[in-house]
Amino acid sequence: MKESFDLIVIGAGPGGSTLAALMAKKGRKVLVVDKNPRAGGRMLTVRKHGFSYEMFPINGVPARNSLFEEVSRRLDLEEELQPVLPKKVGVLYYEDSAGKLNRWVMGSSPWGLMTALGVRLWKPLSLIRTFRALKEMATLPPAEIEKLYDISAMQYFKRFEPLPEGIRTYILASFGEGAFEMPSDHTSAAEMLKLFQAAQKNGGGRYYRGGIGTVFEAYTRRVEELGGKVLMNTRVDHINFRKGAACGVTTEDGQKFDAPIVVSNAGLRQTVLKLAGKKHFSEEYLSWCRNLEHNLACAGFRYFLDAPVLEYPMYIYYPEGCVAPYKEFEDMASGLIKPAHSYIYLGTTSLYPDTAPPGKQLVYACMSCIADPELDISPYLEYVEKRVRKIMPELFDHISHTETFGPGNVAGIGTDIVLPGQGGESYGLALSTGQSGPAQPGHLSPVAGLYFVGCDAGGSGLGTHQALDSAVKLAALLE
């Protein structure tokens, strides 16, 4: 006898676990199947050597009034899943073309930021231009933002030129490339502006006691408490079809489950090309699917320290000219050029409660790169280490253990590799021009009964928040 459910969710990543819990709360009998030992997908929390940490660095944006809080409230988990917010989010380093390194503690005087970014406060024209750009970005109404999905962040910025180079670098590197893991000549200006406004209003740096994965673990636990079933360490082998409609799944160990609705959190392309199978789709759809653009990956280090060296959760190093077009990432990947002026993210989650043994710290240091799992990450590691030595040399006196990560480590806990050069992407499909707003891949598939959820489907925002947005929207659609 096959077990039957109202809904099967493949994957307990941020998108899948959120959708599953919201649907269980609505009274649906839900099955969740995930290949990993616990929920959270690319942001699952690992518990090892007394640390609780994610495989990759995380900055939760927005900090306040996020969808995480709304979902936890709907699931009666708001008491348990209180976000922890840092008093000061971090430090910005800006290195000008002469090699001078300026430092600004985030949240302190905006004049300090201007000075650190090389804006000459005594030159009124440069100040006026800077304020005009920042004011437009902070106040552009939603209807105007909607017109900018097909304009890249880099293109959008041209309207403010000439601008002090430090301002252009900071905005495009943080709210274009950094936030969306996509070079700012591909990132949609509309998405950058929505995120900029959200960050202005509600800040960044949200995290959770014991790791962000605790949120997704609590959501899947809620599925079970509400009468559903969760199968971890279980890979879905394929989706089953009856009369052209999705009707259930078969797992790799041969278990079969039925449901009139199958929602995949396993990636749009991975679901179509691998789990469902090409024969269920038209050539036109398959070709669209193969040509979708995914975002970049990260390459870097996890340093385990025997002392708490970082005072704040996040340190970002921007050398002048670090805003690179997509072509530059391709040239780095092909070995044509070496990483030489990329921005570096240095951060820790060990400052939050229940994340590290007393007196110890886990630090991430990384830069962006192409998402090809076959990429040789050694030139990126060399560059990252050189820059960390420049901004925080004392860190190297306290390393007890080092691990590296790159695009080759992502698919193991996220979605599968189904296309050449794909698999290491940090979020999934990119929120890039031609692929965001009305052109963004959504929740619906061309096949009856099959839906998508997560970063590949209809959400807006940064990483995990985008995945939750997708889940909240699909839960409303399946009402």
Ligand X SMILES: Cc1cc2nc3c(=O)[nH]c(=O)nc-3n(C[C@H](O)[C@H](O)[C@H](O)COP(=O)(O)OP(=O)(O)OC[C@H]3O[C@@H](n4cnc5c(N)ncnc54)[C@H](O)[C@@H]3O)c2cc1C
Binding site for ligand X (CB under 6 A): 10-16, 33-36, 41-43, 56-60, 235-236, 265-266, 275, 298, 410, 414-416, 426-428, 454-455, 462-465, 467
3-state secondary structure 241-287: EECCEEEEEEECCCCEEECCEEEECCCHHHHHHHHHCHHHCCHHHHH
Spatial separation of the C-alpha atoms in residues 128 and 375, rounded to whole Å = 44
Using CA atoms in the order 133, 138, 142, 148, what is the torsion angle rounded to 10 degrees?
A: 30
Q: Are 474 and 443 in contact (CB under 8 A)?
A: yes
CA dihedral sign, ordered 442, 447, 449, 455: negative
> Tokens 């886990």 appear where?
362
3-state secondary structure 107-125: CCCHHHHHHHCCCCCCCHH
Please state whether beta strands 229-231 and 297-305 pair in parallel, antiparallel, or not at all (unpaired). unpaired
Smallest gap from Cβ 39 to ligand X, in A, equals: 7
Smallest gap from Cβ 225 to ligand X, in A, equals: 20
Smallest gap from Cβ 230 to ligand X, in A, equals: 12
Residues facing 34 on adjacent strands? none
Smallest gap from Cβ 206 to ligand X, in A, equals: 9
Smallest gap from Cβ 282 to ligand X, in A, equals: 23
DSSP helix/strand/coil, 74: helix
How many alpha carbons lie under 13 Å from residue 386 in its C-beta half-sphere? Answer: 12
Nearer to ligand X, 119 or 266 (CB): 266
Q: Are 168 and 134 in contact (CB under 8 A)?
A: no
Q: Are 245 and 410 in contact (CB under 8 A)?
A: no
Smallest gap from Cβ 396 to ligand X, in A, equals: 22
CA dihedral sign, ordered 30, 35, 37, 38: negative
Q: For residue 226, give both structure tokens.
A: 């509400």
Spatial separation of the C-alpha atoms in residues 248 and 236, rounded to whole Å = 10
Smallest gap from Cβ 196 to ligand X, in A, equals: 16
Spatial separation of the C-alpha atoms in residues 338 and 447, rounded to whole Å = 45
Smallest gap from Cβ 458 to ligand X, in A, equals: 11
Spatial separation of the C-alpha atoms in residues 202 and 384, rounded to whole Å = 30
